[in-house]
Every structure is written in structure tokens, then in C-alpha cells.
Structure 1
Amino acid sequence: MIWLFLSLSCWVWAETIYYYCDENGVYHFTDLPTSSKYKPFLVFRYHKYDPKKLDRLIKVYSKHYRLDPALVKAVIKVESNFEPEAESSKGAQGLMQITPITQKELDLDTPFDPASNIEAGIRYLKSLLNRFSSIELALAAYNAGPGNVKRYGGIPPFKETKEYVKKVLKIYQELKR
């Protein structure tokens, strides 16, 4: 087990499982390799970030892009539940669950870095709000892609997208109170 201290508000726990295949085809696994025969098989990571630090990042970038921080928090809550290392089955990554294609469009090189992910996600959400002039449509585009919102002339008829928009708006209203 390895503990890495990054700052006063963040710590990282990482553990690697190593393996090697011997001459008889038998696989050996360990967390403490005893020779150079062992190669990394699986890395477990757990990050814990100070919620106050995340809140500051949200406020700073929201102010910069003129976006309501409560809306950003609602998106993050639904997208990743404030887990910086979150990764979806579709490959979306980080707090704001940005897909690799969108990461390239946004020049986001470090999707698991909270500051980079929040900045890029807010910038993307702001561009969607500018494009669609409606929170509901911008959220639908954030979830299903702007092409689908345009194609369907509104919120796409996808159950996931409809539920996503409702969840984010509900949390957004709660946070505004």
C-alpha cells in the first residue's frame, strides 16, 4: 500500500497488483513483487479532495464564465457525485464526466484533475447555454450531445437524457434555495 501526500487538502491512496506467468503457464499475483518478472496488472486509486477546495474551484470558474455555481454543482452531483476519478462505461471522465472526444475539443489533457475538469466542463456548459439559450436544452446537449438536441429540435426522446435533465434541475433548484 502506498500513500502519497499531495497537499493539505488532498491525499491519494494507491495500490498495485502485479503478476507474472511462469514457465508452466501458471499466473502469480501479488501486491509485493519479489522480482523484476512481475509486471503491473491492476492499479487501484482513491482520491479524497476537500469539498471546500472543490467549492472554491467551482466559484472561481463559474464567475469567470458567468455561470451560476449552483447549476455547476448540480451537474457535478448528477455526473460524478463529486468523485474526481469517476469514469463512465462510455468513457466520460472526471467530476463533470467529459468524454474523450469533447476533451479533445476543449484541449483538456488532464480529465481527472479537478481544476482542469471543472474549468473545461464549465466552459463547455456555457457554450451549450449560449448555443441553445435554455438551461433544459443545454443540459440535454451536455448529456446526449448537441447534435441530438438539434436533430430532435429539443430534448431528445432518450429516457436517460430526460431523467438527467430532471435530476439536474431538481438539485439546481434545491441548491438555489
Structure 2
Amino acid sequence: MQKLLITLLIGIACFILADPLFFFIDPKTHVSIELYNNQFKLSILQPFVYSSVPIDPLLSPDKRETMKGLMSVESSFFLHAFSKTGAMGLTQLMPSTARKLNVLNPFNLFWSIDGAQRYLTKLENRFGNLEYALAAYYEGPSKVASRGVSTEGSRYANRVLAESRRLKDQNVLIKDVLYIKPYIGVGESFSIGTELILSVLGIFDVEAGLDFTNSCSHFVYMRPNISDSLGLIIGERDLDFTLGLAYRKLPNFGVQFLLSSNDFDLSMMLKVWQIYFTAGISPKGLRFGVVK
């Protein structure tokens, strides 16, 4: 009966935390079950979207109104917005556009705004008209240059301009996200604990946790995001210095490796169709799972 219950729970939901960014771009409640050789751990990951910093001081005066309208339409001022087409961040830069603008991490608050402002200025200079520039931002400059502004592009530009007027004198705050992750572990030993996963302006993330098994253990990791696909991990677990590296190809693949003098952990996640397959290895043994 116990094996059947474990199998059923894994079939419902099983998620190995390969990288917080996978959760930040999809802020909803997750139920996680990690199965080890002699234990399974049940967790609930509960997101809290919160208001962080005001946007106005970060914008160029000549672009302030337009940029507020653009971000409202593109992301509703959510720092970790991620579209089905792969557009990222506050200003929804596509990966190819971000590379051309030398924006390594479009989820970084400052890089996203700077890149979008430079891009919009370039488009305005090219087309000589704000409506055309906004349409080109939305559907691509090559398409606008060859075919003119489409009905959809014009509708997008009008939405941005309408939002710009509406938000002109409003103090808008950026929205960010944190997760609280309480859990219990059942098997050869019983454990209980909680973790905090916090995004700091898209520049770096913070993970911290307390675990009570036979004694109290803890960890604190800081994760500087070098780019949207690469991040460092620096911190401590029970005062043992830990280093690591995380690579992700959002939203389909992620892998991370942690190493300290007494421990290591390698975990990965792969999305095939609409199913995530996960696996990991550490001194505790192997773990596997899937999530729909």
C-alpha cells in the first residue's frame, strides 16, 4: 500500500528544484514530491507576487511615458514575465533582440529597461514615427519596413499609447516574486523544514532553508544571474562553503551542480511535450520524477 501511494503521488506531481527561475516565470502553487532511496519529501511551493521598486526613477525622462505604457502592455510590470514565444522580462525582449542589444539577462531590471529604451530610440530614428516604432517593436522592424504597419501592429501601438496616457502621473511599482516552501520528509527518518526563494530585481536570487531531522541544519545560497541561461551559486550549508553553476534553456531544460568539501548535488529537468522529467544524484542517492 505504501509503495502504491508513493507511485501515485509521483504520477500526480514530482518536481526537483533545478533552478528558481523556472518557478519565477510561472508564479503559481506547485506540489512537489522528491523520491530518494529511503525517503520521499512532500513540499508545497507557494508564490507571493509583491511590489518592489518604483519604475519612474529608472526611466529616461524623454522615454518615461512611452516606456510605462510599453511595460504595462508587455508584462503588466512583472519582472519575470515569460511568453510562449520566448520573450522575456519587463520589456519582453526576444532572445535574438536581446543578443543584438547586448542584454545578457532580460530578467535583470536595469538591463531590460536599458535595452528596450535603446531599441525604441533606434526604431524611432529609423521610422521617424513613434507609432511605427512601437509597431516595429511588436512585429519586427523588417516586417514593418517591407509591408508597413499591420492592423495588429497598429492596435498594439494604440494600446501602448493609451496606457502611456493613463499611467503618465501614476507611481508604478515593479512586481517581483518570492516562494515559501514548507515540506515534510517520510521514510527511514522523519524530517520537517521550510525554504525561502527570493528574487532580487532579477539580478540575483536568494535561497535559504532550515531542516529539522535528527538535528537542525541550514543553508543560504546567493545566485547571481550572469544571463538568462547561466547563473552562479555561492553560499553555505551548515557552515560548509558551497559553490555551484546552473544552466537553463527556458522553459524546457535545466541543470545545476553544487559542490562543497563534504557534499555534492547534481540535478536536471527536461520538458518533453507538456511533461517535465526530472532526475538528481547526491550522496543520499538517486532521485527521479515527472510533473505535468
| TM-score higher than 0.5 | yes
Residue type at the aligned position of 1:18? I
> Contact between 1:47 and 1:84, CA under 8 Å: does it hold in 2?
no
Residue in structure 2 matched with residue 17 of structure 1 by the alignment: 15
The residue correspondences of 1:23-172 to structure 2 (distance < 5 A) are 31=32, 33=34, 35=36, 48-52=50-54, 54-58=55-59, 62-63=60-61, 67-152=62-147, 154-155=148-149, 157-159=150-152, 161-172=153-164
> What is the RMSD of the two structures over their aligned residues, measured on CA atoms?
2.9
Residue type at the aligned position of 1:68? K
Per the TM alignment, residue 165 of structure 1 is displaced from its structure 2 partner at its CA by 1.0
Per the TM alignment, residue 126 of structure 1 is displaced from its structure 2 partner at its CA by 0.9
Name the CA shift for 1:46/1:116 in 2 (closer, same or farther; >3 Å): farther
Name the CA shift for 1:162/1:122 in 2 (closer, same or farther; >3 Å): same
**Cα distance between partner residues in 2 of 1:47 and 1:101:** 28
Name the CA shift for 1:79/1:34 in 2 (closer, same or farther; >3 Å): same
Cα shift readout 1:125-144 (whole Å, capped 9, x = no counterpart): 11111111110000010001
Q: Tell me which protein shows more helix as a share of its residues.
A: 1
The SS at the match of 2:137 is: helix
Q: State the TM-score, normalized to the length of structure 2.
A: 0.42
Name the CA shift for 1:96/1:167 in 2 (closer, same or farther; >3 Å): same
> Contact between 2:124 and 2:130, CA under 8 Å: does it hold in 1?
yes
Name the CA shift for 1:162/1:36 in 2 (closer, same or farther; >3 Å): farther
Residue type at the aligned position of 1:74? G
The SS at the match of 1:108 is: coil
**Cα distance between partner residues in 2 of 1:174 and 1:167:** 11
Q: Which runs of 5+ in 2 are unaligned?
A: 1-13, 18-30, 170-292
**Cα distance between partner residues in 2 of 1:173 and 1:81:** 15
The SS at the match of 2:34 is: coil
The SS at the match of 1:33 is: strand
The SS at the match of 1:18 is: coil
> Contact between 1:78 and 1:167, CA under 8 Å: does it hold in 2?
yes
Q: Tell me which protein shows more strand as a share of its residues.
A: 2
Per the TM alignment, residue 49 of structure 1 is displaced from its structure 2 partner at its CA by 4.3
Per the TM alignment, residue 89 of structure 1 is displaced from its structure 2 partner at its CA by 1.2
Cα shift readout 1:97-128 (whole Å, capped 9, x = no counterpart): 00001011011111111111111111111111
Per the TM alignment, residue 32 of structure 1 is displaced from its structure 2 partner at its CA by 5.6
**Cα distance between partner residues in 2 of 1:46 and 1:118:** 23
Per the TM alignment, residue 149 of structure 1 is displaced from its structure 2 partner at its CA by 1.0
Q: From the CA coordinates, give the structure whose radius of gyration is larger.
A: 2
**Cα distance between partner residues in 1 of 2:37 and 2:86:** 32
Name the CA shift for 1:74/1:132 in 2 (closer, same or farther; >3 Å): same
Name the CA shift for 1:45/1:110 in 2 (closer, same or farther; >3 Å): farther
Per the TM alignment, residue 90 of structure 1 is displaced from its structure 2 partner at its CA by 1.0
Per the TM alignment, residue 76 of structure 1 is displaced from its structure 2 partner at its CA by 0.3
**Cα distance between partner residues in 1 of 2:52 and 2:109:** 11
Residue type at the aligned position of 1:56? P
Percent identity of paired positions between Structure 1 and Structure 2: 31
